[in-house]
Structure formats: C-alpha cells, structure tokens
Amino acid sequence: MTRGRRRWAGRAAGAVAALLVVVAVAGPWLAPHDPTDVVGLPFAPPGAGQPLGTDYLGADVASRLLHGGRTVVVLALAAGALAYLVGGGLGLAAGLFGRADTVLMRPVDVLIAVPPFLVLAVLAAGTGRGAAVVVLAAALANVPGIARVVRAATLEVGVRGYVEVALARGETWIRVAGRDVLPNIAALVLTDVGSRISAMVAMVAGANFLGLGLQPPTADWALMVAENRAGLALQPWAVLAPALAIAVLTITVNLGGDELAARLRRATTTVAA
C-alpha cells in the first residue's frame, strides 16, 4: 500500500471511529424503544418496526444496540484517562529523578508481566463485579506500558539544559514537568494512544462478555453477544450486530490512531527541521 493510500485509509478509519463514538453517545436519543421494552417474540427475525429483530427476551435489538455503545466508549475512555494519569505521573517522576527510578519502575516491570485478564479476575474476586472494576483493571493493565513510554521520553528531555537549570533552582518537579517536559514529549506519548484505547475497548468488551463487569439488563454490546449467543442460528443479528460494532470500533480506533501518530511524527520532524 502506498503512503497516500495509507493516509487515506487512516483518515477514513478515524472518521468511522468518530462516527461510531457519536452514535454511541447519542444512541439513546435515537433509539425507537426503551432497551428493556418487550416488543415481540424472542428471537423474532427482522421486520417492520424491528430492523434487526428481537433478542432472547423479545426486546428490540436495534434499540439495545443504540443504547449499548455508550458503556463501551465511556468505560474505555475512563480507563484510558486513569491509566495515562497514573502511568504518566510515574513515568515523569522516574525520568526526572534517577533515585526514584528504581523504586517506581520495578513494581511497574512486575505488573507488565501479569496478563491483563488475570488483573481483572483478581480484582473481580476481591471487590466484586461492576463498571468500576472493569475501569480499574483496564487502567492497571495499561499503566506499565504508558509509564515506560513516558519515562523514556522524559529521560531524553530531562538532560536538556533548561530542565536541569529549573531543577537546580529548586523548582518542584511537578512544575518542571508541566512547563518544560510535557509540551516536549506530548507528540511522542500520543503516538500510542490509538492502539492503547483500542486495547482498552477490547478489554472492556471482554470483561462485560465474561460477566465480570456490567450485568443484565444493562444494554451493552458485549453483554448482547453473551446473552444472545444461544440463539445465533435463530436470529443471528442479535449477536452479529453488536459483535461487528465492537470489531469495527476497535479496528478503526487503532487505524485512526496510527494516522494521528504519523501526523504528529511528521509535524515534529518539520518543527525540528
């Protein structure tokens, strides 16, 4: 694929991802029925008034689909914000202070070796199921990677004269990080946002599918797949529609993030030149 085609594909993917997010957020106002209303027989095929048929209880699949995207998007973004807040703080502190590096990064190195769903299972077993558990587990699973990226970028910027002078004057590391470091590493850190958020979408969906997060009758794409898989042969749209929505969101966020990263790299190179 040529560079021009890659850019076009990335922009198209970003547009699709943005459209899905808008639909997910605005979906409850667009849905023709309440997600818990029984509008027909269970697993009824698509027909007048139910373009995607009904689910295992007789609720409108299209309405539940429009309601169910918000939870995936909101939980993934909340996990991303928490992960970048914690991981970014650890990475900045470790990169600016050599003495704190070992203390802060060794636990991070241990956590990075733990499978993400093991973190989720332990948290669910210890604290119970729910949205907060999913957000916390998805954030913890991504904190090590973010911390290492931010630390590496901070180490490169931290040896520059203006940073060393600021620290030598006795300025707090938080002030130095916010004024002198973050603006210079933002482009590099943002290059992995797309893949990071798409991974969080997949983890949130997986947790809800396994029943470790949101619980019925909440409308959620992953829950819809789990609830209706027994009737796949009778009414496939009850499973295929939410599964396709999750897949398209994950892929397009990743591809759109790659295009954003490429743009940031080109902009950084241009400024440096």
Per-residue tens of pLDDT for the chain, all 273 residues: 566 666 777 778 888 888 989 988 899 999 999 999 999 999 999 988 899 999 999 999 999 999 999 999 999 999 999 999 999 888 888 887 766 777 778 888 888 888 888 888 888 878 878 889 999 999 998 999 999 888 888 888 776 777 777 777 777 767 777 777 888 887 778 778 888 899 899 999 999 998 888 888 899 999 999 999 999 999 999 999 999 999 999 999 888 877 777 776 666 555 444
pTM: 0.87
Domain boundaries, the chain: 24-30+52-248
> Any residues with CB less than 8 A from the CB of 92 and at least 6 apart, and which?
150, 151, 154, 173, 177, 181, 182
* C-alpha distances in Å from residue 141, one per residue of 72, 86, 190: 17, 12, 18
Query: 88-145 pLDDT, tens per residue?
Result: 888 888 887 766 777 778 888 888 888 888 888 888 878 878 889 999 999 998 999 9
- Running DSSP on this structure, what letter comes out for residue 229? G
End-to-end CA distance of the chain: 27
Q: Please give the CATH number for the structural domain made up of 24-30+52-248.
A: 1.10.3720.10
Please check whether residue 41 is in contact with residue 55, taking contact to mean a CB–CB distance below 8 angstroms: no
Predicted pLDDT at 272: 47
> Any residues with CB less than 8 A from the CB of 70 and at least 6 apart, and which?
24, 25, 27, 28
Please check whether residue 237 is in contact with residue 49, taking contact to mean a CB–CB distance below 8 angstroms: no
Predicted pLDDT at 266: 65
Return d(Cα 186, Cα 166) in angstroms, integer: 19
* C-alpha distances in Å from residue 81, one per residue of 135, 136, 190, 197: 10, 11, 13, 10
Return d(Cα 246, Cα 225) in angstroms, integer: 10
